[in-house]
Amino acid sequence: MALMRSATGPEAAAALAEAVARLRTGGLVAMPTETVYGLAADAEQPAAVARIFAAKGRPTDHPLIVHVAAAESTDGLAAVEHFAASVPAYARALMQAFWPGPLTLVLPRRPGVADHAAGGQPSVGLRCPAHPVAQALLQACRAAGVQGLAAPSANRFGRISPTRAEHVLAELGSLSDDELLVLDAGPCPVGIESTIVDCTRPQPVLLRPGMIGSDELQHACGLPVAARDAHAPRASGTLASHYAPRVPLRLMEAAELQTALDLLGPRAEGIAVYHRSPLRSVSPHVRWQRMPDDAAAAAHELFATLRALDDGQTKLIWVERPPADAAWDGVRDRLQRAAA
């Protein structure tokens, strides 16, 4: 079974040193970030990157995000210059505004660098996470000669992302303690994956929504943010079906939910309802879970809630569709893909 170490408290220094040693020699480490737990390997070791794809069951042409340490210089370029062939001015503005934080920038890739992590594309997604354990690990890795960590979410491909160390064990615990070290730092504060912006073109293009919205991006870089189009590079978490529980998940408006519950009446069994609006059922077998009214709070608990409802006792998960305003874009995106 995968080995778990505490990344906080008196064990933290030893756990960090063990993680760096494993990563230097091509091993896998599940690391906490502010978004979700990532399955990390040295982005420039092809065999190590191949272990990520194999552990997740992920297609090798589906690119991985490379996580980098916080920049030492004031211009914000030092952390990315190893991987990126160029960094446009608007991308530098986004880095200065949101790094470290839950924002991934897709940039032109230097030839011959992180080929396997990039999924064969001439671009590379880079992120500088804000989680203190992730930053400590990245800084220690850089000091040891590891320039960046490829780290998709630490779960089986297409399934619910892990926001706690125990979720990682539930997904990848069958790996031996020699194959995977899990750094436990408690629950992830943001709870859904980063916003991804394509910066390979003259104008920024939003590839995946997150908790940093288009208006914030535009304000920071001074350019309108375009929607994803047919020319967009492949990016993590953008397949139609993703973040899915094992049982079917259906998104419905509150009125549709209530009608369905009324039609089933006392026959409503094996159904979990994740909702904001007041709903009712005559069946005592419906499982109720209240969704927070605040988008950030809903994002924080989303994956943990879906995982808890997908516990083998539920046959269907019915979710009330999130509000249409921009603050909910990231949550809505994850639920739409989970329902696909």
User: Quick one: pLDDT at residue 240?
Assistant: 83
Token pair in block for residue 233: 């590079």
Rounded Cα–Cα distance for residues 76 and 90 (Å): 12
Rounded Cα–Cα distance for residues 170 and 243 (Å): 15
DSSP 177-234: TTTEEEEE--S-SS-SPPEEEE-SSSS-EEEE--SS-HHHHHHHHSSPPEEP-TTPPP
Token pair in block for residue 15: 């756990």
Phi, psi dihedral angles at 163 (to 5 degrees): -115, 5
- Is residue 171 within 8 Å of 159, Cβ to Cβ? yes
**Residue pLDDT, tens place only, 153-164:** 999 999 999 999
Peptide bond into 100 cis (omega under 30): yes
Q: How many CA atoms lie within 13 A of 185 on its CB side?
A: 25
What b-and-e string marks burial along 301-335, b requiring 16 or more CB atoms within 10 Å of the CB?
bbbbbbbebbeeebebbbbbbbeeeebbbbbbbbb
Q: Would the CATH topology of 3-227 be identical to that of 249-339?
A: no
- Residue 47's H or E segment, with its range, is helix 46-56
According to DSSP, the β-strands at 195-198 and 205-208 are: antiparallel
Q: How far is CA 114 from CA 20, 66, 322, in A?
A: 19, 9, 37
Single-letter code of the amino acid located at 100? P
**Residue pLDDT, tens place only, 312-325:** 999 999 999 999 99
User: Quick one: pLDDT at residue 239?
Assistant: 85
User: Quick one: pLDDT at residue 72?
Assistant: 67
Rounded Cα–Cα distance for residues 62 and 42 (Å): 17
Report the topology of domain 249-339.
Answer: Rossmann fold (3.40.50)
Residue 29: which of 145, 143, 137, 119 has the closest Cα? 137
Could you say which of 3.40.50.2000, 3.20.10.10, 3.90.870.10, 1.10.10.10 is the CATH number of the domain covering 3-227?
3.90.870.10
- Residue 147's H or E segment, with its range, is none
Q: How many CA atoms lie within 13 A of 44 on its CB side?
A: 15
Average pLDDT per consecutive 10 residues, the chain (340 residues; last block may be shorter):
94 97 98 98 98 96 96 67 96 96 98 95 97 97 96 96 98 96 98 98 97 97 95 87 94 98 96 98 97 98 98 96 97 97
**What burial class does residue 41 get, using C-beta atoms within 10 Å of its C-beta: 0-12 exposed, 13-18 middle, 19+ buried?**
buried
- Is residue 187 within 8 Å of 181, Cβ to Cβ? no
Residue 245: which of 291, 166, 172, 305 has the closest Cα? 305
Token pair in block for residue 207: 């590839």
Residues β-bridged to residue 197: 105, 206
Q: What is the mean pLDDT of the chain?
A: 96
pTM of the predicted model as reported, rounded to 2 decimal places: 0.96
DSSP designation for 84: B
**Residue pLDDT, tens place only, 269-322:** 999 999 999 999 999 999 999 999 999 999 999 999 999 999 999 999 999 999
User: Quick one: pLDDT at residue 13?
Assistant: 97
Q: Is 30 left (phi over 0), alpha (psi -120 to 50) or beta?
A: beta
Could you tell me the residue ranges of all domains in the chain?
A: 3-227, 249-339
According to DSSP, the β-strands at 123-127 and 205-208 are: unpaired
